A and B are shown apart, each in its own frame.
Chain A
Amino acid sequence: MDPVAILDHQYTVAAYAITWAIQLGYLAWVGLRWRAQKKRSPR
């Protein structure tokens, strides 16, 4: 396979993976805050 095409593929996969890591990481962080609040909630 063409080494340029392999590099292109790796960069594309990296960009997509990092995007998902950031978005899911943030969602998890908000979820943790939500759960922590439930314990302190005044009701």
Chain B
Amino acid sequence: MKRAALIFSVLLTAALMLWGWYQALFVAPDEQTMHEVQRIFYYHVPSAMVAFLFFAISLAGSLGFLVFRRGHPQRAQMADAWAVAGAEVGVVFCTVVLITGPIWGRRAWGIWWTWDARLTTTLVLWLIYMSYLLLRRFAAGPQMQTLAAVLGIFGALDVPLVYVSNRLWRTQHPAPVFGGSPDSGIKDPRMLAAFGWNVLAWLAWGLLILALRYRVERRQQQIAAAEAQAALDA
């Protein structure tokens, strides 16, 4: 049953990815001013949305770990596994955002990078979560998970700042496509459909990887616990 559900999820995700790719490159029309290079939007923005979602999962996991660590160690370990899985997969999506953005910017603005509020806060977000992952990789001892959880909570505070940065400050980065000024939004239904399919596709892909990464972390915790017990028994 579990195997059938996994195969179904993989097939559904693969179909969504192919359909999203087809919609973005062959169905959506060229944008009037940027032409073909605007199609980077269909990978860039969904990746940012999924990264934000996964950093929120990491925040929930970090909070859960701090809440459960004294009374419910098993729940705390599960929460910690969600925290690290969310942070790591979030960093992967954030990396995609930070690479596809400059590629698009080079054609649209003539520059790879500028220190405007949106770009800078996104880079800071990426750096905070990279330091979170480095802490988890290289620190040891019983306090590591607690320190990581606190850092994960601080890191998540930057997410709303990234979101509102191009509303609060004048930026080189375009104004919000959704929820901005009254005339914001995608007008062409084919562009809107391509965007929606790619959001769904990247979300499905991200959730699949997140579930796999969570399983790897849980198994790692079990191996570490078994090895610690074996060392005590020896």
A-side residues, CB < 8 A to B, are 4-5, 7-9, 11-12, 14-16, 18-19, 22-23, 26-27, 30-31, 33-34, 37, 40-42
- Cβ-defined contact, B107 with A8, below 8 A: yes
Mark each residue of chain B from 78 to 119: 1 if its CB lies under 8 Å from any CB of chain A, else 0.
000000000001001001100110011011000000000000
- Cβ-defined contact, A37 with B220, below 8 A: yes
Complex: chain A residue closest to B21, CB-CB: A16
Selecting from B32-40, B62-70, B169-177, B180-188, the interface stretch reads B32-40
Max chain B C-beta neighbours (<10 A), residue from A15, A18, A40:
A15
B-side residues, CB < 8 A to A, are 21, 25, 34-37, 39-40, 43-44, 47, 89, 92, 95-96, 99-100, 103-104, 106-107, 205, 209, 212-213, 215-216, 219-220, 222-223, 226-227
Complex: chain B residue closest to A38, CB-CB: B219
How many A-B contacts if CB must be within 8 Å? 76
Q: Which 4 A-B pairs have the closest CB atoms?
A: A42-B226, A8-B36, A8-B37, A15-B40
Q: With A23-B96, A23-B205 in contact, do A18 and B226 touch (Cβ < 8 Å)?
A: no
- Cβ-defined contact, A12 with B36, below 8 A: yes
Q: How far apart are B213's CB and chain A's nearest CB, in angstroms?
A: 6
CA distance A37 to B104 in the complex (A): 39
CA distance A22 to B215 in the complex (A): 21
- Cβ-defined contact, B35 with A8, below 8 A: yes
- Cβ-defined contact, B216 with A12, below 8 A: no
Q: Given contacts A15-B99, A42-B222, could you give 17 more A-B pairs where the C-beta distance is less than 8 Å?
A: A7-B107, A8-B36, A11-B40, A11-B107, A12-B39, A15-B103, A16-B40, A18-B100, A18-B103, A19-B96, A23-B205, A30-B209, A30-B216, A34-B219, A37-B216, A42-B223, A42-B226
Q: With A15-B104, A19-B96, A42-B222 in contact, do A9 and B216 touch (Cβ < 8 Å)?
A: no
Complex: chain B residue closest to A34, CB-CB: B216
CA distance A37 to B223 in the complex (A): 8
- Cβ-defined contact, B103 with A14, below 8 A: yes
- Cβ-defined contact, A41 with B100, below 8 A: no
- Cβ-defined contact, A5 with B36, below 8 A: yes
